[in-house]
Amino acid sequence: MNKIKTIGVFTSGGDAPGMNAAIRAIVRTALYYNINVTGIMRGYEGMISGEFIPMSRKSVANIIQRGGTILKTARSEAFRTKEGRKEAFEQLKQHNIDALVAIGGEGTFTGANLFIKEFNIPIIGLPGTIDNDLLGTDFTIGYDTAINTVIDAVDKIRDTAESHDRLFIVEVMGRDSGLIALRSGIGVGAEAILIPESRTDIDALFKRLEESRSDKSSKIIIVAEGDKIGGFEITEMIKEKFPKYDTRLSILGHIQRGGKPSCMDRVLASRLGVAAVEALLNGRKGAMVGLINNNIHYTPFYNAIKHLSEADPNLLKIVNILSL
């Protein structure tokens, strides 16, 4: 055991369902090991401005089922500057915080990496993002809930699409990643799935629509937000090429980030929260804790934030076989 007496916990970047379950697990594990926990509000923003709150077993009661994050979150511009990070470090010192658990995604871990290099403070990360775009974990906290939200919404769109014999383009979140689109697209039986990891070949899409069974009364195309062409443009192109289709665009937006976390996300957050605190107590730092093949793994921040450059070819193949 090393000399950690107080751990600071914060959520940062886009929120994700299951962040509260993670906060609960971190607080209760730390208290179990007789370590104090301080909550840092609004991520790095609150660290800089000194928005700290003491955490107790009670302060995390009744939150495991709640979406969002009780610690709030932000994307901090100030923390990108050296002065901002220095101020944050001063605040941590003043409040006797000697280690951190950061719950977030790529931006959060990029900041954490710099912070460790400059001030040598121990930080362990938990993957909290609906995008599932971090290496070193099969799934990120929030992803399972988000894809279930998507399939719930698209099932409803399917009802109206069937009634009107319509083609729907549905744009889902994922600025740099098509993983929400890919998995939810398979889950709703999409005609095609367009993602940033592979070049969108509009002629291939047209061919697919031409070849698709004429007795299908509804068609769904899932487009990731980060697709190079984008949902709006694709809708316009399809309308022009296939005037016979009654085509509509639906952008699901931020409903994908809200809602009660699924059981998968609650359990994932709980397991990773416990592992994060134990890792700090065992002297680990600068790594994200994740789950690979159901086992805990630690991945250095600089590896966790490297992007997957291609989508799983097995999933892509499934789409092609099943959607005809």
Q: Which is nearer to ligand F6P, 122 or 226 (CB)?
A: 226
Cβ proximity to ligand F6P: between 130 and 223 the closer is: 130
Identify the CA nearest to 130 among candidates 174, 74, 64.
Answer: 174
Place of tokens 């915080």: 97
Q: Which of 15, 131, 133, 227 is catalytic?
A: 131
Look at residues 223, 233, 164 and name the one whose alpha carbon lies nearest to residue 191: 223
DSSP, collapsed to helix, strand or coil, labels residue 64 as coil
Residue 124 CB, shortest distance to ligand F6P, in Å, is: 20
Query: Of 153, 108, 162, which is closest to residue 252 (Cα–Cα)?
Result: 153
Indicate if 138 belongs to the active site: no
Nearer to ligand F6P, 92 or 304 (CB): 304
Q: Which residue has the tokens 């190079």?
A: 228
Of the two residues 174 and 261, which places its CB atom closer to ligand F6P in the complex?
Answer: 174
| CB distance 19 to 69 below 8 Å | yes
Residue type, 185: G
**Minimum distance of ligand F6P from residue 129's CB (angstroms):** 5
Binding residues: 14, 24-28, 75-76, 105-108, 129-131, 158, 166, 173-175, 189-191, 216-218, 225, 248, 254-257
Q: How far is the CB of 50 from ligand F6P (least distance, A)?
A: 24
**C-alpha dihedral, 16 to 17 to 20 to 23, nearest 10°:** -50
**C-alpha closest to that of 11 among 80, 103, 81, 87:** 103
- Compute the least distance from the CB of residue 107 to ligand F6P, in Å: 8
Nearer to ligand F6P, 55 or 130 (CB): 130
Smallest separation (angstroms) from ligand F6P to the CB of 75:
6
Residues at the interface with ligand F6P (CB under 6 A): 14, 105, 129-131, 173-175, 225, 257
- Of 203, 178, 208, which is closest to residue 192 (Cα–Cα)? 208
For residue 16, the one-letter residue type is A
Gap between the Cα atoms of 232 and 248, Å rounded:
10
Binding site as annotated, residues for substrate: 129-131, 166, 173-175, 225, 248, 254-257
The CB-nearest residue to ligand F6P is: 175
Q: Residue 178: CA atoms inside 13 Å, Cβ hemisphere, count?
A: 26
Active site residues: 131
